[in-house]
Structure 1
Amino acid sequence: MSRPIPEGPGRGRRSPVFAGFTAALVSFVSFAALAACGGPPTAGGGRPVPTTHFTENGVTVTLSVSDWHASRGTLTAVFTPEGKGFHLYSTDLPPTGIEGVGRPTAMAVTGALKAEGGLTAAADVRSISLPGVDAPVPVYPDGPVTTTLPVRADADGEATVLFGYASCSARDGCTIPVADRPVHLSITGDGPVFDSP
């Protein structure tokens, strides 16, 4: 059994010089680690990436704007089902699903922002068969799906990002689909800024 070391000269207290050295060392190590990782993500011009999120009907959507330069950038939305075993539908699904089943994972922009391409997802699509549906239904693997949309701003002003999605589970069924769920932001001379949720 160890005994506590009694306090005395040089024990139990650190000198101001030692404390200052420790703080400097911690700051240096933190700076070096940040530099090694490339630093925090930026939207362009060294600014932090604007980010917001919301949760609706069993899915959390995290939206960010990156690579903003010369009024152009990339919207990235991560759709994360809250329940285990839930999947999202392909971005290529028709707006009303297949035979009424499912809703596409969607992100569109209006106002001061314009899309410069189509929405892409960083996930493989697989087809599943559902009872009562003749055609196969394209879905993503269970869990989060990251999507990206290149955008440009015609001018400063207000813009809206509109989201659509539905999540389903083979065991627990489907959540209520979401359509045209808005997220508002402002385009300024310094770049996009999300409105308070």
Structure 2
Amino acid sequence: MSCESKQMCLCFKVFFRVLANLIVRIKSELVDVVYRMCLFCCCKRREDIAEEVECKLIRESTESFYQNVSREAAEKLLENKQNGTFIIRPSKNANLATLSLVQDCKVYHLNVRRREKDSLIALGTEKSNEKCFANLNSLINYYISNYLVLYSEGTRTLTLLLPYRDKNENYNEATIS
């Protein structure tokens, strides 16, 4: 009986995680739909609003992963961290954001971009048959449990994403518990 209850708890955990992801996706879709309805607005240009909304959504949806830092500061933050440790940071290019992660003592900076043809989110440069996502949270959730392939100087490396944790955050959590 206790084995069945443990299995049931696991089923509930999976169910609630899937439900939470579904709610985030629905919220994202609703924001997109409402935004598209405002075609003849007298306020700011539509492109300016889209950029502001997108940046705000990135910060809100990835709040615990988002760091408003430069490339150099990201490299310092990730220095001596465990393989796969990552942050999401602003991009200097026209990309949505940049995923900075550490692997084998090297920091990789991957562009997070919105595809023009279907508005889905993808990593790096455009590739045929690339993995695409509805939003940034979906991308992160996917690569936390599925390998991300990194290429550098002809070497192929697999890694799983691991959220960045500030040393001060861990200390505060330990003292509160």
Q: Which has the larger radius of gyration?
A: 1
Q: Which is helix-richer, 1 or 2?
A: 2
Structure number with the higher strand fraction is 1
Is this a same-fold pair by TM over 0.5? no
| Interval containing the TM-score (normalised by the shorter chain) | under 0.3
TM-score, length basis structure 1: 0.22
